[in-house]
Amino acid sequence: MTDLSPVPAFVAPDVIRSRFAAAMSRLYRAEVPLYGRLVDVVAEVNAATLRADAQALDGVPLAQAQLDVERHGAIRVGTAQELATLRRIFAVMGLQPVGYYDLSVAGVPVHSTAFRPVGAAALQASPLRLFTSLLRLELIDDAQTRALAERTLARRRIFTPEALALTARCEQAGGLSESDAEAFVQAVLPTFAWQRQAPVTQDDYRRLAAAHRLVADVVCFAGPHINHLTPRTLDIDAAQSAMQAAGLPAKAEIEGPPRRRVPILLRQTSFAAVSEPVSFAAGSGEGTHTARFGEIEQRGLALTPAGRALYDRLLDEARARNAAAPGATAEARAATLAAVFADFPDDLQTLRQAGLGWFRYGLRPGVTAQAAAVAAVAATVTTAEAAAAGCRDREDAGTAATPVDGGAQAGSVPAWLQALLAAGLAEARPIVYEDFLPVSAAGIFRSNLAGEPVLQYDVQAAQAAFEQALGAPVADPMALYAAEQQDSLAHLHAALQAVMPDALRAAPRGTHAG
C-alpha cells in the first residue's frame, strides 16, 4: 500500500542561519551600543568605496545585498559537553566545523574551530560563521584554581531546554517546520546573551582572572555570551581611520597582511572591549568585566599551500624585523610589513600562474559553450601537434616522450583552458578566503583582554583532543578550496563536452592554477 501522507515541509538550514544571524545582530547592538556605531561607520565606508570604485565587489562571489550582513562572531565555552552541544545546534543552521586553531601558542589558553557554511551557495545565502573556542583547563597551572574552574563549569547549564529539544527533533526528523524553526532561533539566542549575574563570588572571579583574563570570561558567567560580531568592509584601512575619527577606541594596528591591490586572506581590526557591570554571587559585591568588543574584517584571495608558505615566511620575517625595533610606532611597523610583502606578487594573473591562489573557472558572460569548445579543441590539437614534434626531437636524442592527452599543461591547467583564458573566452575569479588566521585571532583576543600579559605555554597543538571533545573531525579548509576550484574546472569541462562530445580527451586535472 502506498503511503500518501504529506511530506513535512522543512525550513532550509540556510534560512534558519540567516534568521539567527539577524536576531543575534539585534541582540548585540542592544547590549553593546558602541557596536551599533561601528556598523554605521562601516556602512558609510562601504558606500563611499562603491561610489569611488563601482568594481570594488568584482571577483567576490557574495552579492552586494550581503555586504551589510555580519560575517562572523565568536563564542567561548568551557567543557567538552558544551562544545559538542554547540556542534549539534550549529548543524541545525547548516554550520560545519572547519579548521583547527591552537591559540595557546600565542599565549591564549584555548583551541578553536570555525563553524561555517560550506560551499558557495550556502555562503551566498548567509555568510555568518562562528569562531568557537574551548578553554584548555589543563593549561591552568595552579591545581586549586583549576579545580575551582572545573566545579563552576560543571554546575552551569548554558542551553535552554527548548533549544535542546528542538535540536533533537531536527536530528530525528531531518529538519524543522516553520513554527519550530522560529522557536529554535528564540530558544538558542539566550545562550549568546549577556548575563550580568555571575554565579561566582568576586573573590573567585579575581582568582580565575589572575590565572588569565580569558579564564574568567569563560568560567564566571551563567552563559558564554557572544564575544564579538564582525561586519565586512571593502576598505579596512579607510574603516580604521573612520573609526578613529568617530571616536571609537580602535586598535593601533590592523591584524593580517598589509594593504595590497589584490587583498589576500584576512585583515581584521576592532575597537577595545567595553566594561560591563557584573553582580557577583552571595552578595559579594558589584564589579565590571571587560571582554566584549566590535570587530571588522576584509577578506581576500584564498591562498594555496604554496601561497600560505610564502605568506608565513614573509610574516615571520616582518615580525622578526619589528621585534628588533621594539620602540617603533604603529606606522613604522606597518611600513616594515609592507616592505617585506613586496616579495608577494600583487596581481591576479601572476598569483594564478604561480599557483599561489585558488580560483573558480568559468566562461565569460556572453560566451557560448559552442564557441569555447571550438577554441578548446583547436588548442588541444595544436598542443598535441607541438608535443608530437617534441616527441620526434626527443626520439632523435634518445629520450622517451610523455604522451599528450589534452589534460594538464602549463603547470596544472589543461591546454584547452589556457587557450580559453588567453582568448578571453573563460575567466578565473578569485575564491575568497572564508577562514581565519591563528596569529590574527590571537592578536584580536589579546588586544581585548585589558592588557593581559602574553603567557608562554609549553604545549603542543591538541587537535585530536579537541575533535574528541567536539565529537567530530574538523574539515580541512585547504581541501575545501581545492575542491571548489576543481569542481569549477570539471563543470566547465562538462559544458564543453556537452556541445562537442569527446572533443577534449582528458578531464581537467590539478589543484592549482598555472
Q: Output the furthest CA–CA distance in the chain (Å, rounded).
A: 94
464 Cβ neighbours under 8 A, 6+ residues apart: none
Q: Which amino acid is at 239?
A: A
- pLDDT, one tens digit per residue, over 308-325 is 999 999 998 998 998 898
Binning pLDDT at 50, 70 and 90, where does residue 327 land?
Answer: confident
- 161 in a structural domain: yes
How many CA atoms lie less than 13 Å away from 175 in the CB half-sphere? 12
Structurally, the chain folds into a number of domains equal to 1
pTM: 0.86
Domain extent at residue 221: 13-300+435-472
Phi and psi at residue 47, to the nearest 5°? -65, -40
Length of the chain: 514
Binning pLDDT at 50, 70 and 90, where does residue 380 land?
Answer: low
Distance, in Å, from the CA atom of 14 to the CA atom of 94, rounded to the nearest integer, reads: 6
Q: DSSP secondary-structure letter at 292?
A: E
How far from the centroid of its chain's Cα atoms is residue 292's Cα? 20
Q: What is the pLDDT of residue 84?
A: 98
Stretch (H or E) spanning 266: strand 266-270
Q: DSSP secondary-structure letter at 403?
A: P
- 305 in a structural domain: no
Q: Which amino acid is at 378?
A: A
For 16, 62, 117, the CA distances from 125, given in Å and listed in that order, are 10, 9, 9
Q: Which amino acid is at 176?
A: L
- 142 in a structural domain: yes
Q: What is the pLDDT of residue 326?
A: 86
- 193 in a structural domain: yes
Asked whether the beta carbons of 263 and 298 are under 8 A apart, the reply is: yes
Q: Which amino acid is at 248?
A: L
414 Cβ neighbours under 8 A, 6+ residues apart: 406, 407, 408, 489, 493, 504, 506, 508, 509, 510
Strand partners, 299: 266
Phi and psi at residue 288, to the nearest 5°? -135, 160
Take residue 83 and report the three cell numbers written for it: 562544545
Mean pLDDT along residues 108-122: 92
- 398 in a structural domain: no
Burial of 463 (C-beta count, 10 Å sphere; 0-12/13-18/19+)? middle
Binning pLDDT at 50, 70 and 90, where does residue 39 land?
Answer: very high
Asked whether the beta carbons of 197 and 280 are under 8 A apart, the reply is: no
Q: How large is the angle between the packed helices 178-192 and 13-31, nearest 10 degrees?
A: 40
Mean pLDDT along residues 150-166: 96
- Residue 47, domain CATH: 3.10.180.80
Q: Can you give the C-alpha Rg of the chain in angstroms?
A: 26
Q: DSSP secondary-structure letter at 301?
A: B
Using alpha carbons, select from 319, 190, 347 the residue that is nearest to residue 260: 347
Q: Where are the beta strands (DSSP E) in 103-227?
A: 110-116, 129-135
Using alpha carbons, select from 351, 205, 345 the residue that is nearest to residue 282: 205
Cα angle for residues 278, 282, 284 (degrees, 5° grid): 55
Dihedral sign, Cα of residue 305, residue 299, residue 15, residue 131: positive
- 503 in a structural domain: no
35 Cβ neighbours under 8 A, 6+ residues apart: 28, 29, 229, 294
- pLDDT, one tens digit per residue, over 451-470 is 455 444 445 568 999 999 99
Place of cell 558572460: 365
Give SS3 for 357: strand
- 508 in a structural domain: no
Which pairing describes strands 72-77 and 129-135: parallel, antiparallel, or unpaired? parallel
Q: What is the pLDDT of residue 24?
A: 94
Q: What is the pLDDT of residue 8?
A: 66
- 323 in a structural domain: no
In whole numbers, what is the pLDDT of the chain averaged over residues?
84
- pLDDT, one tens digit per residue, over 255-304 is 899 999 999 999 999 998 999 999 999 888 999 999 899 999 999 999 99
Distance, in Å, from the CA atom of 460 to the CA atom of 95, rounded to the nearest integer, reads: 27
Which pairing describes strands 96-102 and 274-279: parallel, antiparallel, or unpaired? unpaired
How far from the centroid of its chain's Cα atoms is residue 244's Cα? 26
Using alpha carbons, select from 147, 123, 68, 132 the residue that is nearest to residue 101: 132
Report whether pLDDT(201) > 60: yes
Q: Where are the beta strands (DSSP E) in 85-163?
A: 96-102, 110-116, 129-135
Distance, in Å, from the CA atom of 45 to the CA atom of 238, rounded to the nearest integer, reads: 7
Q: What is the pLDDT of residue 325?
A: 87
Place of cell 539577524: 22
